[in-house]
A = this chain, B = another copy of it.
Amino acid sequence: MGDSEKAAIVLLSGGLDSATVLAIAREAGFALHALSFDYGQRHATELQFARKLAEAAGVRSHRVLKMDLRIFGASALTDERIAVPEEPAAAGIPITYVPARNTLFLSYALALAEVLGVLDIFIGVNSQDYSGYPDCRPEFIQRFQELAQVATVLGTEKGQKLSIHAPLQYLSKAQIIRRGLELGVDYAHTRSCYQLDTQGRSCGRCDSCRLRLAGFAELDLRDPAPYI
């Protein structure tokens, strides 16, 4: 990495949000290192979309890390025995919540940042849509950034400033889509469904599909991704 080039790590799931974040980091002039996770989730097919998005964005590298979160077995996203709900959740934490998921994702991003000497990490959390998830809130991102500063050689020995960027934090789904379209994101190549079928088609009924479809509807647009 040349001294004149600034690089960033972008957490990339293949979903609408992280695809938009990738475009935002690119627009900001960062050389991109994408990091995805294969964590035994139902929507592993989503990773194929992550690969295509990374390639289309011209990333410097794209790593897919295998994680076994099923030993914790407490979420509809990782436990095959729990059905994904197709009705909007009542108040409280949705069953699709994966314990400490973003803490883990950011920790791996931090390890990679240390290895590559990268100071900027981007994540597509969004406190409006997922207010039930503690690890999507601004306080969480702030505290992780404070942790990152003392957890690495970059921050301690070298005195460099690490930043966790969450550019979607206060945007609605419609605002995210509008921003992504301005930046040329092709949402036909993103998936958000919690129970994607093997042909990559979304269910249209889970919480995540409902939010996504409502976002496009608010903009009077049709979601270009296929539904069953």
Which residues from chain A sit less than 8 Å from chain B, CB to CB?
63, 65-69, 71-74, 92-93, 97, 99-104, 107-108, 110-112, 114-115, 134-135, 137, 139-140, 143-144, 146-147, 149-153, 155-157
Contact = CB atoms under 8 A, between A and B. Distances in A.
Contacts of A65: 68, 71
Closest 4 CB pairs of A and B: A100-B111, A99-B114, A134-B156, A99-B111
A151 B100 contact: yes
Given A65-B71, A103-B111, A135 B157 contact: no
Contacts of A153: 93, 97, 134
A155 B99 CA distance: 12
A103 B92 contact: no
Nearest to A139: B150
A134 B114 CA distance: 12
30 contacts: A65-B71, A67-B67, A69-B111, A72-B111, A74-B115, A93-B157, A99-B110, A99-B111, A99-B114, A100-B108, A100-B110, A100-B111, A100-B114, A100-B152, A103-B107, A103-B147, A104-B104, A104-B107, A107-B107, A134-B152, A134-B153, A134-B155, A134-B157, A135-B152, A140-B150, A140-B151, A143-B147, A143-B151, A144-B147, A147-B147
Looking at A92, A97, A104, A134, which has the most chain B CB atoms within 10 Å of its CB? A134
A73 B107 contact: no
A103 to B, nearest CB: 5
B99 A157 contact: no
Contacts of A67: 67
